């Protein structure tokens, strides 16, 4: 397995990639640059869409007669865009203090709800939480439902292929949790540690060996394996449903951020990365930091879930 650089224009903080099967386009966000991007990887065409605040995550939406569009978690709430570049309409106002907290990692679940976690930017208290939003036709009035909390930075949200297990990480604590998930009732139970990663060694600085990184964004394949980008660890991990390490894949950027599966057979794995705030020496040694990479894998991934409204 080897990486290819499929988008050479670097993002400051690339995140939330997904492959749109109808459009055959790769979408992702650049949180720090406050924009959403999409690329045709055949022609190389790259489109950029400026946002009024940081887009923490996005998901494709079902076709509403205008093309489907996106659901977008901005700093202050969850928004709906009917088409690329279209007007943003507020679905749900954020419940957090936007001076210190914004939405971060998230995606749609297998039943079409949108989920987004938050990041508490001072990181001195565990005030980040995970929310779901149900806007499906015929349901109750849309509202944010708090699903989990007591975290610093929400990341790694994913579901098992049978939609019975939910994964969620708290990046600064180097931990990924798992819950049993009742999809029809949208209820989490039986929280447990899926993987506890080693912390940062005392005195460690960027460029030093001896640190494997902390869990950032993730994706699940058709066999239920959990693929996790290890921020600052320069690697991508494949973990079995039991948490056993199946693969430890070096990455050409110190800070990989989130994988997703795409292509016609869902056997192309895409990976975003970051360069925002990284040391100059690191960027000189790893000039592809912030680019989007791809590699072919043996087991296909799960298709992207669409938001339903």
Known catalytic residues are: 216
Phi, psi of 171 (to 5 degrees): -60, -50
| Strands in 212-279 per DSSP E | 214-220, 226-231, 235-239, 245-250, 256-262, 268-273
| Helices and strands of the chain, counted as H and E runs | 1, 24
Residue with tokens 């903080």: 13
Residue 97 and residue 75 in contact, taking contact as beta carbons nearer than 8 Å: no
- DSSP of 158-174: EE-TTS-EEEEEEGGGT
CB distance 170 to 151 below 8 Å: yes
Q: Sign of the C-alpha dihedral, residues 48, 155, 21, 251?
A: positive
Instruction: Decide if 228 contacts 220 (C-beta within 8 A).
Output: no
Q: List Cβ neighbours of 58 (8 Å cut-off, separation of 6 or more).
A: 16, 18, 27, 28, 29, 36, 70, 71, 72, 73
User: What is the chain's alpha carbon radius of gyration, rounded to the nearest angstrom?
Assistant: 18
How many Cβ atoms from other residues are within 10 Å of residue 229's Cβ? 29
- CA 85 from centre of chain: 21
Q: Write phi, then psi, for 126 (nearest 5 degrees).
A: -90, 75
Task: Give how far Cα 44 sits from Cα of 25, 26, 38, 130, 258, Å.
Answer: 10, 11, 10, 35, 21
């Amino acid at each position: 397995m080897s990486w290819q650089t499929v988008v050479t224009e670097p993002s400051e903080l690339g995140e939330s990639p997904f492959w749109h099967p109808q459009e055959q386009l790769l979408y992702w966000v650049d949180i720090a640059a406050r924009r959403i991007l999409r690329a045709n990887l055949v022609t190389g065409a790259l489109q950029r869409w400026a946002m009024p605040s940081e887009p923490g995550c996005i998901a494709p939406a079902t076709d509403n007669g205008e093309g489907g569009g996106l659901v977008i978690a901005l700093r202050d709430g969850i928004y709906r865009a009917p088409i690329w570049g279209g007007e943003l309409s507020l679905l749900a106002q954020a419940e957090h203090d936007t001076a210190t907290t914004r939405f971060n990692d998230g995606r749609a679940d297998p039943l079409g709800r949108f989920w987004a976690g938050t990041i508490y930017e001072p990181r001195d208290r565990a005030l980040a939480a995970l929310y779901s939003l149900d806007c499906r036709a015929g349901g109750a009035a849309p509202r944010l439902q708090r699903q989990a909390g007591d975290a610093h930075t929400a990341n790694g949200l994913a579901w098992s292929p049978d939609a019975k297990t939910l994964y969620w990480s708290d990046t600064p604590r180097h931990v990924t949790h798992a819950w049993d998930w009742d999809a029809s009732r949208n209820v989490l139970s039986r929280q447990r540690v899926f993987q506890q990663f080693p912390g940062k060694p005392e005195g460690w600085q960027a460029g030093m060996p001896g640190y494997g990184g902390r869990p950032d964004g993730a994706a699940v394949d058709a066999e239920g394996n959990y693929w996790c980008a290890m921020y600052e660890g320069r690697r991508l991990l494949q973990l079995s449903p039991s948490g056993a390490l199946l693969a430890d894949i070096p990455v050409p950027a110190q800070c990989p951020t989130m994988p997703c599966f795409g292509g016609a057979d869902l056997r192309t794995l895409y990976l975003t990365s970051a360069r925002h705030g990284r040391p100059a020496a690191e960027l000189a040694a790893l000039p592809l930091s912030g680019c989007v990479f791809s590699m072919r894998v043996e087991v296909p991934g799960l298709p992207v879930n669409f938001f339903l409204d």
